[in-house]
């Protein structure tokens, strides 16, 4: 039942929609000093990050954050600090992964495809190095033994590097949680006022009006000509117009 519950939790974690503040590729660029500290002092950083993830309340501590079968059965309630020290030194990989799962479940954070590829490459390289070591031990070939040692060193380097990037990713996410990035500034829109009839017309903005443009256009030289429109001609309409008895009687006909 416990393993089924963990499988259901893993399935639910795939439906999370939030993202990490920084992915594994850019953690070194985001916080280079802390990434170097996590590389050289991994267990100490894992201890501090787990304690910080629990909001510095060690009464909430459970071994491996409750994601392992041994969680809650190691006497954590009696001495949580000692149990956490034992976890980060003896089960360093599990301590890093448990802190990661704890943050993901708290903030509904999904793991991106790029992060999954990096973590999967780390695990595959460890498995290949282990297989080469077993084959070299069985066969007894010096060439295979040297190749297995090279693969083991490479897998250890990748493992330490990825764990350091993961812990830096956790630290950046908790910095975001604790508001250490500062509030996002938002510009306040200016107050809007309703126009009034007695409100003065605001000054015009933009380019000043150029002469020769606009309406009405300036009058050209000599236009309109003098004496226009012409006065009515003398004697118009002519005298005696219309003639008498015009129109004729009975017009129009009914």
| Per-residue pLDDT, 8 | 72
Q: How far is residue 54's CA from residue 99's CA, in Å, rounded to a whole number?
A: 9
Q: Are 31 and 171 in contact (CB under 8 A)?
A: yes
DSSP one-letter string for 45-112:
HHHHHHHHHTTT-GGG--GGGG-STTTT-S-TTT-HHHHHHHHHHHSHHHHHHHHHHHHHHHHTBPPP
pTM: 0.66
Q: What whole-number percentage of the chain has pLDDT above 90?
A: 35
**Two structure tokens written together for 149:** 């040692």
pLDDT, tens only, 98-114: 999 999 988 999 888 88
Higher pLDDT among residues 220 and 78, named by residue: 78
Q: How far is residue 130's CA from residue 102's CA, in Å, rounded to a whole number?
A: 29
**Two structure tokens written together for 143:** 């060439």
The strand pairing partners of 18, in sequence order, are 109
Q: How far is residue 93's CA from residue 101's CA, in Å, rounded to a whole number?
A: 12
Q: How far is residue 124's CA from residue 116's CA, in Å, rounded to a whole number?
A: 12
| Per-residue pLDDT, 182 | 61
């Amino acid at each position: 039942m416990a393993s089924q519950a963990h499988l259901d939790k893993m399935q639910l974690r795939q439906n999370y929609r939030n993202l990490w503040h920084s992915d594994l590729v850019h953690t070194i660029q985001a916080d280079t000093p802390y990434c170097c500290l996590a590389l050289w002092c991994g267990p100490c950083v894992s201890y501090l990050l787990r304690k910080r993830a629990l909001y510095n309340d060690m009464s909430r501590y459970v071994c491996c954050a409750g994601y392992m079968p041994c969680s809650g059965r190691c006497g954590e309630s009696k001495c949580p600090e000692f149990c956490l020290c034992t976890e980060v030194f003896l089960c360093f990989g599990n301590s890093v992964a448990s802190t990661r799962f704890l943050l993901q479940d708290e903030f509904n954070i999904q793991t991106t495809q790029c992060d999954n590829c990096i973590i999967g490459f780390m695990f595959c390289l460890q498995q290949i190095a282990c297989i080469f070591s077993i084959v070299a031990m069985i066969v007894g070939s010096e060439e295979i033994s040297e190749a297995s040692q090279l693969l083991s060193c490479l897998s250890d380097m990748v493992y330490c590097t990825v764990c350091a990037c993961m812990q830096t990713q956790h630290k950046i996410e908790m910095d975001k949680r604790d508001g250490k990035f500062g509030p996002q500034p938002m510009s306040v829109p200016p107050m809007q006022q309703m126009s009034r009839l007695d409100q003065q017309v605001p000054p015009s903005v933009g380019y000043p009006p150029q002469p020769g443009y606009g309406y009405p256009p300036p009058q050209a030289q000599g236009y309109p000509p003098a004496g226009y429109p012409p006065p009515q001609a003398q004697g118009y309409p002519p005298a005696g117009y219309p003639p008498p008895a015009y129109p004729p009687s009975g017009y129009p006909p009914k």
